[in-house]
Structure 1
């Protein structure tokens, strides 16, 4: 199988350089050298179960720009694509590509997310998702998929389930060829989305299990090489071990020797569901881990998942605290989760999880308060801070690209009313580029000096 994969890469299709967004040290940059921040949402919770489609049409993406997002982390389900080994559902792959195109119609960038939790719907008492049934070791009895009320504590069940850990063990060792089939699946997926103009990159495996210093780096290198052979220049988002999502365990995942790699950390305060409260100490501890990762990797940190159940009384404060940290540290990321078909009975559609930011009427539920952010700057952002009380967004940047063009994402709940500049500086010329993006341009003035801007807003 490895020989076949090599032949496919050598003689198969090769697409032109994508590279519209790339990694430059701890920053994401556009092709013309501007720094860009990615603030997005995961889509969607019910992608994990049949019929494996969360988006029904481009209109499902319509609210996202108005909610202050510029990107989506779009779940891809391996079971849906390859329900039988070697037998592909091409309609599913085509529908996934169609969904990427629908996102582009609403000016949304896409990160492809090969998603799994607890290995498979046929593992962990039917509470997992992602890997097909045939990916289980042949000596293991497949569970009957449940993903309902009995799976509320799926994360605890996953941790204690020896069979699931055994399945991961054999996957990494390719005992039964499942790892080879995973790499071939990655190849098909990369070919399907290779020419999508809004593609940023690939998250190669959501919250995996495996040894961080050996098994995961090897897997990511093999899969990443395939993706970047088909789509040169695409960004690779590399998730740490599943247990690091608590924030209490530091990731030991080393950077792999490929271009454009990003550490994709996840964070869920373990006290949130256990005690229905969150701890500033846990968030600070996690931040310490992330800073060490950035020093090792010399790459941006992408917070691929964070969120809270909507019923928790302090969920909004928790999410605001994470966004405040992301603003201070200039992190990109995607909140969990937007499920357009959320309802009060099945909730997110998987294991009775209830993290969706929207209700069944398409309204925000209170676990997310849209805020403006600096989407692009002509150089390096030095600092960015949003004040909900004053309704001001403060920006300091070092210009390196002419013309000096700053773009601000403005959610629908706010109206831009002006910009203040540091005393003695000439103001930028600002205008609304569209309903949710402000464009400010300064085409004259000295270069390599700091600019200080304060954008003023009021509630609609």
Structure 2
């Protein structure tokens, strides 16, 4: 204790540490908020939000809710914990106490803020378990951010505390009074607030680990590598590691410092220790994943480590929800029960570990068990024979086989590789230069030229603003243009994915003339997307940050869409129902891409995961209802995307697994790693091309859905373009996937084109600007894009190799039906293989179509 005439010394030290925490944390939040407009590392995406919310969906709610809870809660926690320690406590003890408290407070503040956001959005359409899991994952990610940045705050607080101790001791020396405070190294058993029996509570950490792993699989499955044995083994590893870390932290670090702690501070310290133990206990999983699967190259280990720590933080918090009340009851009984009855309490302590293990097993059996697998999803589509007409476009579905990832297939049970191109010629763009058209006319000759590449799919970009220019009124003329494009593509053997496209939310978000923006931001220009009546920006600033899509007005518009403000989300779903009704019986339509690169909204994680998933489910419900009402209609594939941050970073949080139980979902991120991702502008690589595939495949697997990349391409300068282009396609072949390159034809007046450019760069078909004269595409690009590949293969493909420079295709598969292969080049191909009969070659513009009948295992080589 302090000298008798200076009892306020302990309180003074606590105030010093608390004040330092407040100041440094406030500065940290301000700096990160200005430096990171993505909200990925910053505390919240509150750029230019103002200090007071002007409406229910304002990002300023983070300023008046999350920020005070974070800073004020941390100040109170630090004051109480430091006050309970002796003035002689080691500075490293204070550092650990402040750091752990900050992490837990951040989680709780994020939880409170997220609940507010969901209350504003309303509970309609939110499924309780996916939503709860996503909330847990998002709050854990917030805790992980402060686990990373927290030492900056805790270090200053500990230094300020130590200076305060030094000043108090100097005063005591000058006054000649003895310092009666004991050293913090005394045994934990002698400290009144540190009962060693409380470590039994750490037995609940395995249960918390199981819950956190399940939640993490639904939020950021891309970071979770395939551990042998699955989640059961991962739970065992993390559970043991967290228990050991918790006991070690409590005995050697936390408990010795709690010299004057009452029950409340002791319980808080126990909760923070659980949180810290979780953060440390998940590091072994990250290391094991790296040893088994590789770190992923480039800077990806940073992202994967952050998400593992997020899972760990969530595990600690989950354990605390059960453990802390349990320990509190133990302490209450200890004070009130006679010593003769404490044997029952001791037995309760001994029973804690098996009870926790039973909870883990129950969770694993009830929520982690895989669902039934079927060979072909049941859809109301026209049935087809196994042979089928080669030129007939069949309805597409999802094929499932036990032990294998689901794939896109057709109604005869053949695996289909959709490989093609994006078409933007029906987009309703904003026009930056009235003298330059924003798109080229879409003609049948475009599809004839696509067929020469061997493409079998177009991702046809549509604009909501053109489809529904006035609320409730659909433009039949625009719908007819879409019908024409679908028919023309089908005539050339090309499926269509209908894509509800947007960039910057709509063309009605352009900054007013004279708009002034802060540093690192510039006036926004609206590209395309929603109609004007559905663009609700609530006065947010039109200043783009690190690109066109992170302007405050754009994110406010997306937030209002996700919150269904004024029924905007409901009307968006209704527009999809109108499209689905038009094409309900059309087999040439492969499916519907619900929303191109949706913005993260004002609160990434909540808006871009939970509420985005709800919007998707609204649209899916509308689509299925419309298809069911059309005679001969059937269910088409539904392609869904993560937020645009995936395109900009190579990963992101995603709609929670289970947001929809529709069996025809296809996960469709845009794989732009080493291309237009934000890291390339900084001269570094966060996610490599190969890791981009890995993250996407892991996430698709968590959804139980096939993977199809709706966009890729544009790898920068010519010197780097060729190698990266080839690496992308080589990985696509080895993983037996399809995709659509961006874009077929880019007009000189496209708002995404450089106004000073002399060519319409970024397209497969090039032109001069502004004249519009045709240019030759790079020879290597033409050869690589038109490479030989199986358009459809009976059963499943087992391997696929195709040269990007010459005609050399090798494949193997297993199934019965008609194999359909595209082969480029004028010379007649030479084909050989096993398990094939009736091989037929037919000349096509730009190449050949090879068909053959398979029965069982088969191989094919074409040269």
TM beyond 0.5 = yes
Residues 1:158 and 2:533 are matched in the alignment: no
* Equivalent residue, structure 2, for 1:228: 624
Q: Which secondary structure does the structure 2 equivalent of 1:213 belong to? A: helix
Deviation at 1:414, TM superposition (A): 5.4
* Equivalent residue, structure 1, for 2:802: 386
Name the CA distance, whole Å, in 2 between partners of 1:164 and 1:349. 16
Equivalence map 1:97-246=2 (5 Å): 97-123=483-509, 125-137=524-536, 139-140=538-539, 156-159=547-550, 161-210=551-600, 211-231=607-627, 232-246=634-648
Equivalence map 1:28-107=2 (5 Å): 28-44=408-424, 47-49=427-429, 54-107=440-493
Long gaps (5+) in structure 2: 1-378, 383-393, 401-405, 431-436, 511-523, 601-606, 628-633, 755-759, 768-773
- In structure 2, relative to structure 1, the CA distance for the partners of 1:164 and 1:426 (3 Å cut) is closer
Q: Which secondary structure does the structure 2 equivalent of 1:219 belong to? A: helix
Give the structure with the higher percent strand: 1
Deviation at 1:321, TM superposition (A): 1.4
- In structure 2, relative to structure 1, the CA distance for the partners of 1:390 and 1:358 (3 Å cut) is closer
* Equivalent residue, structure 2, for 1:22: 397
* Equivalent residue, structure 1, for 2:721: 315
Name the CA distance, whole Å, in 2 between partners of 1:372 and 1:277. 35
Deviation at 1:129, TM superposition (A): 1.4
Deviation at 1:242, TM superposition (A): 0.8
Deviation at 1:240, TM superposition (A): 0.9
Which stretch has the larger CA shift, 42-51 or 318-327? 42-51
Deviation at 1:351, TM superposition (A): 4.2
Deviation at 1:163, TM superposition (A): 1.6
- Computed over aligned residues only, the root mean square deviation of the Cα atoms, in angstroms, reads 3.1
Name the CA distance, whole Å, in 2 between partners of 1:42 and 1:168. 24
Contact 1:300 1:331 in 2 (8 A): no
Contact 2:592 2:639 in 1 (8 A): yes
Give the structure with the higher percent helix: 2
Contact 1:190 1:227 in 2 (8 A): yes
- In structure 2, relative to structure 1, the CA distance for the partners of 1:322 and 1:416 (3 Å cut) is farther
CA deviation profile, 1:348-370 (whole Å, cap 9, x unmatched): 56443731111232743454532
Q: Which secondary structure does the structure 2 equivalent of 1:415 belong to? A: coil
Name the CA distance, whole Å, in 2 between partners of 1:414 and 1:240. 41
Residues 1:401 and 2:816 are matched in the alignment: yes
Which stretch has the larger CA shift, 235-244 or 26-35? 26-35
- In structure 2, relative to structure 1, the CA distance for the partners of 1:428 and 1:351 (3 Å cut) is same
Contact 2:726 2:804 in 1 (8 A): no
Deviation at 1:43, TM superposition (A): 0.1
Which stretch has the larger CA shift, 361-370 or 179-188? 361-370
Between 1 and 2, higher relative CO (CA 8 Å, sep ≥ 6) is seen in: 1
Name the CA distance, whole Å, in 2 between partners of 1:362 and 1:407. 32
Residues 1:377 and 2:793 are matched in the alignment: yes
| Aligned with 2:698 (options 273, 292, 299) | 292
* Equivalent residue, structure 1, for 2:777: 364
- In structure 2, relative to structure 1, the CA distance for the partners of 1:52 and 1:358 (3 Å cut) is closer
Name the CA distance, whole Å, in 2 between partners of 1:127 and 1:77. 13
Deviation at 1:56, TM superposition (A): 3.2
Residues 1:283 and 2:283 are matched in the alignment: no
Deviation at 1:289, TM superposition (A): 0.9
CA deviation profile, 1:94-153 (whole Å, cap 9, x unmatched): 21112111111221100000001111112252233101122122743897xxxxxxx9x8
Q: Which secondary structure does the structure 1 equivalent of 2:709 belong to? A: strand
| Aligned with 1:252 (options 609, 630, 654) | 654
Which stretch has the larger CA shift, 58-67 or 124-133? 124-133
Which stretch has the larger CA shift, 293-302 or 431-440? 431-440
Name the CA distance, whole Å, in 2 between partners of 1:243 and 1:263. 15
Deviation at 1:389, TM superposition (A): 4.9
- In structure 2, relative to structure 1, the CA distance for the partners of 1:416 and 1:314 (3 Å cut) is farther
Name the CA distance, whole Å, in 1 between partners of 2:499 and 2:570. 19
Which stretch has the larger CA shift, 195-204 or 385-394? 385-394
* Equivalent residue, structure 1, for 2:861: 454
Deviation at 1:317, TM superposition (A): 2.5
CA deviation profile, 1:414-445 (whole Å, cap 9, x unmatched): 534211336xx7775232264444233246xx
How high is the TM-score relative to the length of structure 1?
Answer: 0.82
Contact 2:396 2:587 in 1 (8 A): no
How high is the TM-score relative to the length of structure 2?
Answer: 0.45
Long gaps (5+) in structure 1: 1-14, 144-150
Residues 1:306 and 2:712 are matched in the alignment: yes
Q: Which secondary structure does the structure 2 equivalent of 1:417 belong to? A: coil
